[in-house]
A and B are shown apart, each in its own frame.
Chain A
Amino acid sequence: MIDERFAKGVSWIHQLDPRLKVIITVLMAVVIATGNNLVMLTQALILALLLLLSAGLDFRLVLKRILIINFFIFFIWFMLPFTYGGTTLFQLGPLTASREGVFYALRITLRSNAVMLIIITLIATSTISALMHALRYLYLPEKLVYLLFLIYRYLHVLGREFKKLNNSILLRGFKSRTGIHSYKTYAYLIGMLFIKSYERSQRVYEAMLCRGFKGKFYIMDDFAVSFYDYIFLITGLLAVAWFILLEKGVVF
């Protein structure tokens, strides 16, 4: 299911403290997502690409992820230039493409790709468990973090149970068709999955009670901030500051 494929790697980005990666990612994402300055957005995308290159991730995998969001952006390019209004850029039959519309679509493209790439390079390069710990250290509410983590942890188990059930209906000659029999079978399958996950949650809770659970979770991992982490943090903050300056028009 979620295989954390990007998290397996040895680049300098993989070795950074996940807390700092989360902080820098959040700051960058906010600035880029709210920014409108084309120069800033282009530079952000270039920075994202540079980070991606130095993380040494499997390029085809990254491309696959990027294609998914660009699929939606593709349609924006069909709609926005012709509906936005403003100075005419060119005409296509009865349709008028506006300069402002094209820039708007361009901004959306740069923005979403830059943010997506930064998240892939900075966040997806840490394991989920490391990220959970990072979020706890950053004072995100304990309940939220554990909710997230338990969802992730048991998604695997649930996925396996779904596969088991699905295999068993396939092995007994089930073919998916349009018809009441197929719908009913799928409804049973999903119903069964609900019951199983409910029962699983009961057992997990019981197991926790048996080990003296009193409503408090503990984390044991210690993160150590190294020299390189400081360099990353400072460079990251400088980049964020530079983007804000560009956005506000203070430079250029």
Chain B
Amino acid sequence: MIELKNISYKYPDGIMVLNDFNFTFSQGDRLGLIGPNGSGKTTLFKLIMGLLAPDEGDIIIFGQKREKQEDYIEVREKIGLLFQDVDDQLFNPTVEEEVAFGPLNLGKSHQEAREIVKETLKLLGMQGFEKRITYHLSGGEKKMIAIAAVLAMEPRILLLDEPFSGLDRKTTGKMVDILNNRISQSFIIVSHNEELLQRVTDRINYM
């Protein structure tokens, strides 16, 4: 579903992060990515989402070559990216609006969005959080709401950037349970925690 061919990407300061990089991801994959800092894991996610443009190479997603910003609208609707820092992702006053933001952008009605919010929160064991104020939540709760916000768009693929970072043992366990048992999506996870990666993915790529 995702194919990156001979991708090169340089930071604006000239440092090469990805050089002649090739990558394939198919339906049903549960892939872990591990690699040293600065090896281009987050860059890879941003390239897939069209937030960065490669200097060279082709990006083919859902069988279509993606070049212009407009090409990525469909990609963003079908691939969900969970950011490393939850504060980047949660900007709405209430949890309900946060989770409904994606569905409403997809053209769902308020009523439909409300249903989706309810179901998604239930799926993650966060029932009753609808009217809570997002910025007053704890770190672990924020992470759950961020995941809910991504899942609410019903994406086909999830890209998770360090989903375990900053979580306590209990919330980490919850996250593992969610990834293993509660969602049906294929996903790519970037993490430094190899042990956790082994528990939730089928294979691990070293970058």
Chain B residues with Cβ under 8 A from A241's Cβ? none
- Does A5 belong to the interface (CB within 8 Å)? no
Min CB distance, A248 to chain B, in Å?
Answer: 41
Chain A residues with Cβ under 8 A from B110's Cβ? 218, 220
Q: Give A212's nearest chain B residue, CB to CB.
A: B105
Min CB distance, A79 to chain B, in Å?
Answer: 43
Nearest 4 interchain pairs by C-beta: A129-B93, A212-B105, A203-B88, A211-B102
Are the C-beta atoms of A203 and B83 separated by less than 8 Å? yes
For chain B, residues 182 to 197, give those with C-beta under 8 angstroms from any C-beta of chain A.
none
Interface size on A, residues (CB 8 A): 27
- Does B201 belong to the interface (CB within 8 Å)? no
A129-B94, A209-B49 known; 11 new pairs, CB 8 Å cut-off, are A129-B93, A133-B93, A150-B91, A203-B83, A204-B89, A207-B81, A207-B88, A209-B51, A211-B149, A219-B97, A220-B113
Are the C-beta atoms of A211 and B91 separated by less than 8 Å? no
Q: Report 24 cross-chain contacts, Cβ distance below 8 Å, ordered by A residue.
A: A127-B133, A129-B94, A133-B93, A206-B46, A206-B49, A207-B81, A207-B89, A207-B91, A208-B101, A209-B51, A210-B51, A210-B76, A210-B80, A210-B81, A211-B80, A211-B102, A212-B102, A212-B106, A213-B101, A213-B105, A220-B94, A220-B110, A221-B96, A221-B97
- The distance in angstroms between the C-alpha atoms of A214 and B149, with both chains bound, is 16
For chain B, residues 53 to 91, give those with C-beta under 8 angstroms from any C-beta of chain A.
73, 76-77, 80-81, 83, 85, 87-89, 91
- Does A157 belong to the interface (CB within 8 Å)? yes
- Does A156 belong to the interface (CB within 8 Å)? yes
- Does A24 belong to the interface (CB within 8 Å)? no
Are the C-beta atoms of A203 and B85 separated by less than 8 Å? yes
Are the C-beta atoms of A209 and B100 separated by less than 8 Å? no
Are the C-beta atoms of A149 and B93 separated by less than 8 Å? yes
Are the C-beta atoms of B76 and A200 separated by less than 8 Å? no
- The distance in angstroms between the C-alpha atoms of A172 and B77, with both chains bound, is 46
Are the C-beta atoms of B51 and A206 separated by less than 8 Å? yes
Chain B residues with Cβ under 8 A from A209's Cβ? 49, 51, 76
Q: Give A156's nearest chain B residue, CB to CB.
A: B135
Min CB distance, B4 to chain A, in Å?
Answer: 18
- The distance in angstroms between the C-alpha atoms of A156 and B136, with both chains bound, is 10
Are the C-beta atoms of A211 and B101 separated by less than 8 Å? yes
Chain B residues with Cβ under 8 A from A157's Cβ? 87
1/0 per residue, CB under 8 A from B, across A202-240: the answer is 011011111111101011110000000000000000000
Chain B residues with Cβ under 8 A from A213's Cβ? 101, 105
- Does A153 belong to the interface (CB within 8 Å)? yes
Residues on A lying within 8 angstroms of B by beta carbon are 127-129, 132-133, 149-150, 153, 156-157, 200, 203-204, 206-214, 216, 218-221
- The distance in angstroms between the C-alpha atoms of A149 and B131, with both chains bound, is 17
- The distance in angstroms between the C-alpha atoms of A170 and B142, with both chains bound, is 30
- Does B174 belong to the interface (CB within 8 Å)? no
Q: Give B46's nearest chain A residue, CB to CB.
A: A206
Chain B residues with Cβ under 8 A from A156's Cβ? 135
- The distance in angstroms between the C-alpha atoms of A207 and B145, with both chains bound, is 14
Chain B residues with Cβ under 8 A from A210's Cβ? 49, 51, 76, 80-81
- The distance in angstroms between the C-alpha atoms of A211 and B102, with both chains bound, is 5
Chain A residues with Cβ under 8 A from B85's Cβ? 203
Min CB distance, A20 to chain B, in Å?
Answer: 19
1/0 per residue, CB under 8 A from A, across B99-117: the answer is 0111011100010011000
Chain B residues with Cβ under 8 A from A133's Cβ? 93
- The distance in angstroms between the C-alpha atoms of A103 and B145, with both chains bound, is 57
Chain B residues with Cβ under 8 A from A214's Cβ? 105
- The distance in angstroms between the C-alpha atoms of A132 and B134, with both chains bound, is 14
> Which residue of B46, B76, B89, B101 contacts A218 across the interface (Cβ within 8 Å)?
B101
Are the C-beta atoms of B100 and A218 separated by less than 8 Å? yes
Chain B residues with Cβ under 8 A from A200's Cβ? 87-88
